[in-house]
Copies of this chain bind each other. A is one copy, B any other.
Amino acid sequence: MAKSNERAITPQSEDFSAWYNELVLRAELADRGPVRGTMVMRPYGYRIWELLQGELDARIKATGHENAYFPLFIPESHLTREAEHVEGFAPELAVVTHAGGHELEEPIVVRPTSETIIGEMFAKWISSYRDLPLLINQWANVVRWELRPRLFLRTTEFLWQEGHTAHADEADAQRETMVATGFYEEVSREIAALPVVIGDKTASERFAGAKRTVSLETLVRDGRAIQSATSHYLGTNFAKAFEINYTSAEGVETLCHTTSWGMSTRMVGAVIMTHGDDKGLILPPRLAPHQVVIVPIGRDSELEAVLIRANGLAEALKELGVRVRIDDRTTLSPGFKFNEWELRGVPLRIELGPRDLAAGVATIANRLSGEKEQLSIEDVAAEIPGRLDAFQSALYARALSFREEHTMSVDSREAFDAAVAVGFASALHCGERSCEEEIKESTGATTRCIPFEAPRETGSCVACGKPEHYGQRILFARAY
C-alpha cells in the first residue's frame, strides 16, 4: 500500500493516456484482471461507485421504480428477436457453450444488456392497463467484449444499473425517458460535479433498437467527450419482438411502449478524467471515500497528545456526517502522506502538529486551490461542512469553465477540425450518415448530441455545405 508516491505520475500535457493509466493504478482505484479487458475495482475505487450508487438508487426509488434482478444468461435465440438489437451487440458477445461438463444444446449469451430477457418477463407479467406503467430497475454486471479496453471507461465486464419500463402509450414512455434523464442530470451535476450537456443522439449513435436516445455528455481534460449515461425510448420495437401487450380499459389488445436507461462504472472514469490534475485525482466531496484526512505530526509523547486531539476532531466531524480518516500510520513521513492523499484526491487535509496544538490552530490544505489556511482548532469541525460544499461548487465551476473554453461554435471545416482537436465543435450539420462518417474518418470526431438547450438556427452543413438538418447546432467531439 505504501508504494504510491515513489515518483510523480506522467503529466497530463505530456501523455494524457499514460497519466490516466498510472493514476488509476497508483491511486489504488482499480487493477487489471487476468482475463483481457476485465477490471478489479479496488476498495477505494469501489467506494466511489458505492456512493454514486447510493445517490442514484435513492432517486430511482423516489420516482416509483422498484429494483429486481434478472439472469446473467440469455438463450442465444432471444437476442436475435429484435433485428437491430442483435446486429448492434453480436460482435461484442461472450458465449457459453459448455456447462456442467457437457456441451449445451443451445449456446448461452452472457448479457450485454437486458432488454431481451426483461422483455420476455414483461410479456408474462403484463396483461391489463392496470399493470402499467411497470417501472423496474436492476443493478448488475454486463459483458461486452472490448478490443481496446481502458480501466473504467471500456472494460469487458462492467457494473451498471439498467432501468426498464413499460407504458400504455408513447407520451408516457417519452415522459419516463426524461424522468431518467432528470436523475442522471442531478447525479452528474450535483454529486459528480460534471457539467453535462444533455441532448438527443443522432440516428447513427442511437442505442441498437431504440427510437430515441438521450445522452449526457461530459468533456474531459484532454478535450475528449465521455457519454456518462443514456436514456432510450424504444417505441414498440421490443414490445413487438417479445409480445409485450396489454388489454386497454376499452378491452383492446395494445402494444406497450418501453424504455431503458443506464449509468455504469464508466462514470468513475469520467470523474477521474474531468477533475484530475498533474498531482493526481481530485474527488468531488460528495463522492470522496474520505472527504477529510487528518495527518497527525510529531513524535513520541508529542504525537500522543496530537493523536488525542485528532481523534476528538474526527469524532466531531463524524457526528456532522463528514467522512473522515486519521492517517496514523507510523512508518511514513507526513510529507509522504501529503503526497499520497493528494494523489488520491482527498478534498481537504487537516495537518495537526505539536506547534499547532500549542497555538490552538489546525492547518487545512485544499486539494483544488492548493492553498493552506489556519483555523482555530475549536472552530475546525464546524467549518468543514461549509468548506466541503464550497469545494464541490468550485470543482463544478472549474469543469464548467473548462468546457466553455473548449466548446467552439464553428462555421468552416477548418475551424471545425481545430475545435474537435481540443474539445467540442458546435456546428450545423446535414444529418447524413455518410457525412458523419467522412468527419469521423478524417478527424476522429463523432456527433455527441443534439443539445436540448440551443437556439434555432439554419444554414449549411459545416462539412459538406448541404442544408443543415436539425434546425440547430449539434455537438461533435472525439470521444472515449
Report if A98 contacts B (CB, 8 A).
yes
Q: Tell whether, in the assembled complex, residue A93 and residue B97 are in contact, meaning their CB atoms are under 8 Å apart.
A: no
Least CB distance from A171 to B in Å reads: 23
Report the separation of the CA atoms of residues A255 and B40 in the bound assembly, to the nearest whole angstrom. Answer: 23
Q: Tell whether, in the assembled complex, residue A71 and residue B157 are in contact, meaning their CB atoms are under 8 Å apart.
A: yes
Within 8 A of B (CB), among A182-236: none
Q: Tell whether, in the assembled complex, residue A73 and residue B33 are in contact, meaning their CB atoms are under 8 Å apart.
A: yes
Among B35, B101, B131, B156, the residue within 8 A (CB) of A91 is B101
Q: A31-B124, A47-B67, A96-B110 are in contact. Are A157 and B73 (CB under 8 A)?
A: yes
Q: Tell whether, in the assembled complex, residue A94 and residue B91 are in contact, meaning their CB atoms are under 8 Å apart.
A: no
Q: A66-B47, A71-B157, A96-B96 are in contact. Are A40 and B121 (CB under 8 A)?
A: yes
Report if A86 contacts B (CB, 8 A).
no
Report if A143 contacts B (CB, 8 A).
yes
Report the separation of the CA atoms of residues A128 and B140 in the bound assembly, to the nearest whole angstrom. Answer: 35
Residues of B within 8 A of A141 (CB): 72, 140-141
Residues of B within 8 A of A442 (CB): none
Within 8 A of B (CB), among A14-47: 31, 33-35, 38-43, 46-47
Report if A145 contacts B (CB, 8 A).
yes
Report the separation of the CA atoms of residues A157 and B46 in the bound assembly, to the nearest whole angstrom. Answer: 23
Residues of B within 8 A of A117 (CB): 33-34
Within 8 A of B (CB), among A46-76: 46-47, 49-50, 66-75
CB-nearest residue of chain B relative to A100? Answer: B145
Residues of B within 8 A of A107 (CB): 98
Within 8 A of B (CB), among A61-120: 66-75, 78, 90-101, 107-108, 110, 117, 120
Least CB distance from A109 to B in Å reads: 10
Report if A434 contacts B (CB, 8 A).
no
Q: Tell whether, in the assembled complex, residue A46 and residue B67 are in contact, meaning their CB atoms are under 8 Å apart.
A: yes
Number of interface residues of A (CB under 8 A): 61
Q: Tell whether, in the assembled complex, residue A72 and residue B157 are in contact, meaning their CB atoms are under 8 Å apart.
A: yes
Residues of B within 8 A of A66 (CB): 43, 46-47
Q: Tell whether, in the assembled complex, residue B145 and residue A35 are in contact, meaning their CB atoms are under 8 Å apart.
A: no
Report the separation of the CA atoms of residues A33 and B124 in the bound assembly, to the nearest whole angstrom. Answer: 11
Residues of B within 8 A of A421 (CB): none
Q: Tell whether, in the assembled complex, residue A34 and residue B75 are in contact, meaning their CB atoms are under 8 Å apart.
A: yes
Q: Tell whether, in the assembled complex, residue B1 and residue A131 are in contact, meaning their CB atoms are under 8 Å apart.
A: yes
Q: A43-B66, A70-B40, A73-B38 are in contact. Are A100 and B50 (CB under 8 A)?
A: no
Least CB distance from A72 to B in Å reads: 5
Report if A159 contacts B (CB, 8 A).
yes
Least CB distance from A453 to B in Å reads: 35
Among B50, B99, B110, B145, the residue within 8 A (CB) of A67 is B50
CB-nearest residue of chain B relative to A137? Answer: B43
Report if A130 contacts B (CB, 8 A).
yes
Report the separation of the CA atoms of residues A40 and B124 in the bound assembly, to the nearest whole angstrom. Answer: 12
CB-nearest residue of chain B relative to A97? Answer: B97
Least CB distance from A121 to B in Å reads: 6
CB-nearest residue of chain B relative to A332? Answer: B130
Residues of B within 8 A of A131 (CB): 1
Residues of B within 8 A of A70 (CB): 33, 40-41
Residues of B within 8 A of A92 (CB): 100
Q: A43-B136, A101-B91 are in contact. Are A108 and B35 (CB under 8 A)?
A: yes
Q: Tell whether, in the assembled complex, residue A96 and residue B94 are in contact, meaning their CB atoms are under 8 Å apart.
A: yes
Report the separation of the CA atoms of residues A128 and B3 in the bound assembly, to the nearest whole angstrom. Answer: 11
Q: Tell whether, in the assembled complex, residue A39 and residue B71 are in contact, meaning their CB atoms are under 8 Å apart.
A: yes
Report the separation of the CA atoms of residues A136 and B41 in the bound assembly, to the nearest whole angstrom. Answer: 11
Residues of B within 8 A of A91 (CB): 100-101
Report if A359 contacts B (CB, 8 A).
no
Least CB distance from A75 to B in Å reads: 5
Least CB distance from A54 to B in Å reads: 11
Q: List 12 A-B contacts (CB under 8 A).
A: A31-B124, A34-B71, A35-B73, A40-B69, A41-B68, A46-B67, A71-B156, A73-B94, A73-B157, A94-B100, A96-B96, A97-B97
Contacts beyond the supplied A46-B68, A50-B67, A72-B143: 6 A-B pairs with Cβ under 8 Å = A1-B125, A31-B121, A33-B70, A49-B69, A91-B101, A97-B98
Q: Closest 4 A-B residue pairs measured CB to CB?
A: A100-B145, A43-B66, A38-B71, A33-B71
